[in-house]
Amino acid sequence: MAQKKNVTFSDIAEYTHFSKTTISRYFNNPDSLTLENQAIISDALVKLNYKENKVARILANGKTEFIGIIVPSLYFHFFSEILNQILSTYETFGYKFLVFVGNEKKEIEKQYIQELLAYKIEGLIVLSHTIPSKSLAALSIPIVSIEREDEYICSVNTDNYAGGVQAAELLAEHDCEILLHINSPTAKNIPAYGRIQGFLDVCKKRRLKHQIIYRDLKANYEAIQAQLNEIIDELERDYMGQKKGVFISNDTHANIFLNLIFRRHGGLPSDYLLVGFDNSPISREAIIPISTVGQQIDKIAYEAVGLLVEQMNERKKRNPVPLTAPIHKIIPPILMQRDTTEG
């Protein structure tokens, strides 16, 4: 049985009586044709059952329609959920994604970026912290970051300061005798530092008894569990019988903390209130649904891809206008009150 011949630009040109140059313009720069001619070619593609050769198109115009993504880890539920939301934007923007997980290793991430550039990605989304934004800005492609240092590149972040305020205010409203915030050591130029500052400002303004507990909580379950167990030992020694309002920097750690409390007490004692951060799925699926400062993860993902596509589209213009300064978009958090504060 004879193999069916692929329809070529020459076939379309012959059918429509246009030149191959005009057919090429239809695919690469359709706005350069009249609406009438666009309609003629579009109708011809249907009648000829044309199947686009993506590889040939990439070779012809150098546009891959690929976006690279560097995430530090998929252990934390925030990263896995935001990756899920970014990938779902294909239906809106039509870009495909090449994803690398850096595991917080700078040299490995540099290699990944070179690999992505070799694949001719048109833009890059970075959630990892290892490479300074100044170095990223020196790359030859549009870049958008999410929740990382962003002085020299465009970014989309949650209003972390407002989130820290919301968490502290919620715990204060429930008459906690001591407010505690558990976090990893965080540089002030990282957006997530706002969670610490917002919490502190509320405590100081209201003159509330409070404590910041820093631990280097890496993406390793056994190590995190051991460190959080130590913290619980300290809380039950230093604040025995006091109503403790605990704000933890992300839902993954908040869920581990909650599980450890359950193992000790068979439930969540009345002298513990707990708030996480992210509103990732684990906060709703926990043994007791966890109150959390909700990042609008779907909106962050959509805005990040949209901001990147704007820059990529600008570069495709005959006379592109480069950005004079990075664009930073801030998405407000939404407080989700659930059983760990509401009883």
Check if the beta carbon of residue 183 is closer than 8 Å to that of residue 198: no
Does one domain contain both 74 and 150? yes
Task: Specify the CATH number for the domain of residue 79.
Answer: 3.40.50.2300
Q: Give domain status of residue 1, yes or no.
A: no
Q: Token pair of 277, please?
A: 């951060």
Cα distances from 179 to residues 140, 239, 244, 262, 271, in angstroms, run 46, 11, 6, 20, 12
Return the closest-CA partner of residue 93 out of 61, 125, 58, 56.
125
Number of domains observed in the structure of the chain = 3
| Token duo for residue 40 | 């003629």
Q: Residue 94 carries which side chain, given as an amino acid letter?
A: G
Whole-number Cα distances in Å, 247 to 76, 211, 273:
17, 10, 8
> Based on C-alpha coordinates, what's the Rg of the chain?
26
Q: Give the three-state DSSP class for 106.
A: helix
CA distance 246 to 328: 30
CATH number of the domain enclosing 17? 1.10.260
| 275 occurs within a structural domain | yes
Give the pLDDT of residue 164.
Answer: 98
Other CB atoms within a 10 A radius of the CB of residue 71 amount to 22
Task: State the amino acid at position 233 in one-letter form.
Answer: D
Specify if 150 maps to a domain: yes
> How does pLDDT run across 250-296, given as a tens digit for each residue?
999 999 999 999 999 999 999 999 999 999 999 999 999 999 999 99
Q: What is the mean pLDDT of residues 7-12?
A: 85
pTM over 0.85: no
How high is the pLDDT of residue 106? 92
310 and 172 both lie in a single domain = no
Task: Verify that 250 and 286 share a domain, yes or no.
Answer: yes
The whole domain housing 74 covers: 66-158+297-330
Does 221 map to a domain?
Answer: yes
- Residue 3 in any domain: the answer is no
Q: 200 and 153 share a domain? A: no
84 and 211 in a common domain? no
CA 157 to chain centre: 8
pLDDT digits (tens, 9 = 90+) for 74-116: 888 999 999 999 999 999 999 999 999 988 889 999 999 999 9
